[in-house]
Amino acid sequence: MSRAEEAGGPCGEAPTAADLAAVAAQLGREPRGVVEVAHRCPCGDPDVVRTHPRLPDGTPFPTSFYATCPRLTGAISTLESRGVMKAMQARLAEDPELAKQYAAAHQDYLDRRAELAEVPEIAGVSAGGMPTRVKCLHVLVGHSLASGPRVNPFGDEALEMLPRWWESPCRDRHLPTAPREPAREDD
């Protein structure tokens, strides 16, 4: 079983009010342009959302698959800080088959974004450096989680390197808890 399959699966569901509240708590701000929960953590909360390519204020937004879970994004940031992207970039330059797979991932990303809308300002621009660079593992992992295995080779590879971010009760870790009532003396 791949790491993407262990971590839940692509879902493609319209976000509920509870989903949007969970994402707002994860991000520490209101989410913008969310059209779909692209992947759910096994705890049930979104960990990747799909965003419209034009935000409500009119800004073009090329990042279609946006990782939101702080435990997931923190783990990805740790990978980035270890130089993983530099090694991937070197392999991309040396391996024509890998370059072909990565170009196909770029096209998949563009095709999925075009399902939502055409935005001329970002036409041909995917995200994460695709198809010629490895620039942002957050985007590549989000794409892999939303699409499933064997679509984005570097997203899949990064997923396999990540710790199991979903393995402990994560709901308490990224959602605010309700304030407790003070104990009464007669209890």
CB pairs under 8 A, 24+ apart, for 16-20?
19/45, 19/46
Structure tokens at 15: 């976000």
pLDDT value of position 172? 55
Structure tokens at 102: 């990565």
The per-residue DSSP string of 100-135 comes to: HHHHHHHHHHHHHHHTT---GGGTT--STTTTT---
187 residues of the chain, pLDDT tens digit each? 777 677 777 788 999 999 999 999 999 999 999 999 999 988 889 999 999 999 999 999 999 999 999 999 999 999 999 999 999 999 999 999 999 999 999 999 999 999 999 999 999 999 999 999 999 999 999 999 999 999 999 999 999 999 988 886 565 544 444 333 433 344 3
Task: Supply the angle between the helices 70-81 and 137-147 in degrees, to the nearest 10.
Answer: 130
21/23 Cα distance (integer angstroms)? 5
pLDDT value of position 182? 39
Domain boundaries, given as residue ranges, for the chain: 3-169
Single pTM value for the model: 0.88
**Interval 100-110: pLDDT, tens:** 999 999 999 99
Residue 40 bridge partners (DSSP): 46
Cβ neighbors of 2 (< 8 A, separation 6 or more) are 149, 156, 159, 160
Alpha carbons within 13 angstroms on the beta-carbon side of residue 54 total 11
| Closest to 59 measured CA to CA, from 119, 15, 112, 141 | 119
- Strands of the 65-67 sheet, one edge to the other: 10-13, 34-40, 46-51, 65-67
Is the CA virtual torsion 61, 66, 71, 73 positive or negative?
A: negative
pLDDT value of position 103? 98
